[in-house]
């Protein structure tokens, strides 16, 4: 049996549990966010907080978040992008990616900043789909190394990233060489 972790509110940590029934959804569309997606992204964020308030450290001021997202121009971004997993035109998952040039390593580094999948769609392949779509985008940009930070107590995410080929380099940091 594969290891599966889920957040336990009473214990205030991730615990091993039985893996839920896996639903494969073949209708998921992965693409980069556009300016026209801003309302969908805001609604996704609200849904994440409603369904799992314990995971968020604080509930954001949605009016402020709405103003911040209005100021972002997804269509003209040069060093970041947001990947959406769309299911029946609604956002079921989201990944934030960025990149920069590392002068010490003399190469571009890709960063995965956030990965969110609505609780009701977990274990359906959406998270892996977001990562795989992002890997392809990074390869097109000439990026050969992806880094991300994951909380040390987030056992579910650590297992997820290891399964996708990431190596845990140090506490909280995972790296994937492309």
5, part of any domain: no
CA quadruple 71, 72, 74, 75: dihedral sign? positive
41, part of any domain: yes
96, part of any domain: yes
Q: Euclidean distance between the first and final Cα of the chain, in Å?
A: 29
51-101 pLDDT tens trace = 887 766 666 677 787 888 889 999 999 999 999 999 988 999 999 999 999
CA–CA separation, 150 and 160 (whole Å)? 11
6, part of any domain: no
pTM over 0.85: no
Domain hosting 166: range is 22-177
Mutual orientation of helices 126-140 and 155-163 as an angle, nearest 10°? Answer: 50
Number of domains in the chain: 1
36, part of any domain: yes
Which residues make Cβ contacts (< 8 Å) with residue 1, sequence separation at least 6? 19
9, part of any domain: no
107-132 pLDDT tens trace = 899 999 989 999 888 888 999 999 99
61, part of any domain: yes
Q: What is the CATH classification number for the domain harbouring 153?
A: 3.40.630.30
């Amino acid at each position: 049996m594969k290891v599966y972790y889920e957040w336990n509110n009473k214990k205030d940590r991730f615990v091993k549990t039985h893996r839920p029934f896996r639903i494969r959804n073949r209708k998921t569309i992965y693409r980069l966010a556009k300016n026209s997606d801003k309302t969908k992204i805001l609604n996704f964020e609200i849904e994440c907080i409603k369904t799992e308030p314990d995971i968020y450290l604080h509930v954001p001021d949605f009016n402020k978040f709405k103003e911040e997202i209005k100021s972002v121009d997804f269509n003209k971004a040069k060093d970041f992008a947001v990947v959406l997993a769309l299911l029946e035109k609604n956002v079921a998952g989201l990944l934030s990616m960025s990149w920069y040039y590392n002068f010490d390593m003399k190469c571009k580094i890709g960063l995965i900043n956030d990965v969110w999948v609505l609780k009701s769609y977990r274990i359906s392949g959406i998270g892996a789909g977001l990562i795989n779509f992002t890997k392809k985008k990074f390869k097109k940009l000439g990026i050969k190394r992806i880094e991300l930070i994951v909380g040390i107590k987030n056992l579910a995410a650590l297992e997820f990233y290891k399964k996708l080929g990431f190596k845990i380099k140090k506490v909280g940091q995972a790296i994937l060489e492309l």
